[in-house]
Chain A
Amino acid sequence: MKRTPVYNWHMAHGATMVAFNGWEMPLYYHGITEEHLHTRRSASLFDLGHMGRIAVHGQDSLDFINWLTPAAFNDAQPGDVFYSFLLDEAGHTIDDITIYVGRETQMLVVNAGNHDEALAWILEKAKGWKSITIEDKSFTWSMMALQGPSSGKIIMSLPDAESAKSLPYYKFMTFKKCDRWPEMIISATGYTGEHGYELYMPCDSALKVWEVLMDAGAGGIVAPAGLGARDSLRLEAAMPLYGHELNNNTTPLEAGLRKFIDFKKSDFIGRDALCAVEQSGEPKQKLVGFEMNQRGPVPRPGMKVLSFTGEPLGEITSGIFSPTLQKNIGMAYITSPETKVGQEIHLDIRGRNYPAIIVKRPFYKRMK
């Protein structure tokens, strides 16, 4: 089992650990609900050392990524972050990723569970590109996320704090190594629906950065949060999770992520297949959000969705009791294209039917 540089800190702070894609990660420290609500109210620090970090070097690296992914890369500038996908030729999702745009080095952040497949795919596709070299930095660099309305205050403890604090959404900065600080990348990104940052640094300084951020938010402003809260936060924000809303049998179009596909580009892997889906009208299934307005058991992935007359409609991909909304919410793939917001559906939970309503996503939107 792999461990991040912050592993010993988690153990010393009473974390309940869980095996997650070959990594031993904190599920929670005190409780998932408490950590979830603290993130919405103040700020939380998440260890993301398990995620994969792959650097693509070379003068053609921008062109390579532009072809490798459907991101709107034609006017990409150094300092931009893109949410995108690795697609196969059928338009199916190998992974959902973020791309950090540099001059001659691009960084791709991939899911821990897809690290090996994503790396193999990128290496394979880079074969025809002479100037490109691929470097897996997953085990030399680490990563953490500071999320929540108070995260701006806490980031002020870092070098060149003003510029870090005022980073626009989906932009990043690189901080050079100095006496007090390691080399670091900070982006205004996250997976919680809150204002926040993701930070990257060499593994040997990750624990130090973690402790500095914890100290900067001492007195209850910042608290550590585990993967349990990370999942419930992203679900309230209706962000997709690979293996749930996305998989290697699903296109981003079905997941409702069309705005991340740049059809204006003349070529990217999977473009022809996605164009064919577009031309045929509706994708074969679509992702919807639902909520249960009456009390009921928690809807869980894999449970069936029925029409209110009992016809099979699809399957739940994610579901929780929402700590913020105090009701059950979830997402599901539905095969019926006429399904609309406001429509009543039934959920088959452990052999009994419970009513739910299709609602707009996200379930939770922060006040700006």
Chain B
Amino acid sequence: MDSIPYDMKFLKTHEWAKKDGSLIIVGVTDYAVEQLNREIVYVELPEVGCLLKKEESFGLIDAVKAASDLYAPMSGKVVETNTEAMVNAAIVGEYPQNTGWLIKIDPSNPAEWDDLLSPAKYKALIESGEAH
């Protein structure tokens, strides 16, 4: 696993978060889509303006064989969704940590950033074999 960027933080449910000024960009991890053989066929995302609570479900990604819920790494308002990913879900399978990002959140409690898993802890989680 060489694809855990140092500037991201993580949920154990395999969502990543990254700072973009005062906003937070959210996506699913490369490890998570690899488990789905990168065959993502559909992404459902919330409306812009929607309020999310930390660790609450905000959408889903559907792969050929199974669907997975998506969880918010931080509380806040959805200020942008990746419309490209909604039209062409395959980019989430190919570039989940880049152009396949999902939503941008304006965080209501920036301190929640500190609760997220560090790259080292996320790496340890997926290498422990206990990740699902």
Known: A297-B62, A297-B67. A28 touches B37 (CB 8 A): yes
Number of interface residues of B (CB under 8 A): 13
Q: Which single member of B37, B62, B87 contacts A31 (CB below 8 Å)? A: B37
B79 on the A face (CB < 8 A): no
Q: Which single member of B37, B38, B42, B86 contacts A321 (CB below 8 Å)? A: B42
A22 on the B face (CB < 8 A): no
Q: Which single member of A28, A228, A300, A321 contacts B41 (CB below 8 Å)? A: A321
B8 on the A face (CB < 8 A): no
Docked-complex contact B67 and A350, CB < 8 angstroms = yes
A325 to chain B, nearest CB (A): 12
B64 contact set on A, CB distance < 8 A: 31-33, 228, 232, 298, 320-321
Docked-complex contact B62 and A32, CB < 8 angstroms = no
A295 on the B face (CB < 8 A): yes
The listed residue with most A CB atoms (<10 A of its CB), out of B38, B39, B60, B86, is B39
B73 to chain A, nearest CB (A): 21
A16 on the B face (CB < 8 A): yes
A299 to chain B, nearest CB (A): 10
Encode A273-306 as 1/0 by CB contact (under 8 A) with B: 0000000000000000000000111101000000
B132 on the A face (CB < 8 A): no
A33 contact set on B, CB distance < 8 A: 39, 64
Q: Which residues in window 50-97 of B have CB below 8 A to A?
A: 60, 62, 64-65, 67, 86-87
- CB-CB nearest in chain A for B61: A297
Encode A23-47 as 1/0 by CB contact (under 8 A) with B: 0000010011100000000000000
B74 to chain A, nearest CB (A): 23
B59 to chain A, nearest CB (A): 10
Docked-complex contact A228 and B65, CB < 8 angstroms = yes
A32–B40 alpha-carbon span in the complex (Å)? 11
Docked-complex contact B65 and A297, CB < 8 angstroms = no
Q: Which single member of B37, B38, B60 contacts A350 (CB below 8 Å)? A: B60
A160–B119 alpha-carbon span in the complex (Å)? 62
Known: A321-B42, A350-B60. A298 touches B37 (CB 8 A): no
Docked-complex contact A296 and B65, CB < 8 angstroms = no
A321 contact set on B, CB distance < 8 A: 41-42, 62, 64
A296–B59 alpha-carbon span in the complex (Å)? 12
A28–B65 alpha-carbon span in the complex (Å)? 11
A32 contact set on B, CB distance < 8 A: 37, 39, 64-65
B89 to chain A, nearest CB (A): 9
A350–B44 alpha-carbon span in the complex (Å)? 12
B62 contact set on A, CB distance < 8 A: 297-298, 321
B86 contact set on A, CB distance < 8 A: 295
Docked-complex contact A31 and B39, CB < 8 angstroms = yes
Docked-complex contact B44 and A31, CB < 8 angstroms = no
A295 contact set on B, CB distance < 8 A: 42, 86-87
Known: A295-B42, A321-B42, A350-B60. A300 touches B67 (CB 8 A): yes
Docked-complex contact B39 and A298, CB < 8 angstroms = no
A17 to chain B, nearest CB (A): 13
A350 contact set on B, CB distance < 8 A: 60, 67
A300 contact set on B, CB distance < 8 A: 67
Docked-complex contact B38 and A298, CB < 8 angstroms = no
Docked-complex contact B60 and A298, CB < 8 angstroms = no
A232 contact set on B, CB distance < 8 A: 64
- CB-CB nearest in chain A for B86: A295
Docked-complex contact A297 and B42, CB < 8 angstroms = yes
A76 to chain B, nearest CB (A): 39
A31 contact set on B, CB distance < 8 A: 37-39, 64
List 7 tightest A-B contacts by C-beta distance, closest first. A321-B41, A297-B62, A298-B62, A32-B64, A297-B42, A31-B39, A33-B39
27 contacts between A and B (CB under 8 A): A16-B37, A28-B37, A31-B38, A31-B39, A31-B64, A32-B37, A32-B39, A32-B64, A33-B64, A228-B65, A232-B64, A295-B42, A295-B86, A296-B42, A296-B44, A297-B44, A297-B62, A297-B67, A298-B42, A298-B62, A298-B64, A300-B67, A320-B64, A321-B42, A321-B62, A350-B60, A350-B67
User: CB within 8 Å of B: which residues of A?
Assistant: 16, 28, 31-33, 228, 232, 295-298, 300, 320-321, 350
* Besides A32-B65, A321-B64, 17 new A-B residue pairs in contact (Cβ under 8 A), listed by A number: A16-B37, A31-B38, A31-B39, A31-B64, A32-B39, A228-B64, A228-B65, A295-B42, A296-B42, A296-B44, A297-B67, A298-B41, A298-B42, A298-B62, A298-B64, A298-B67, A320-B64
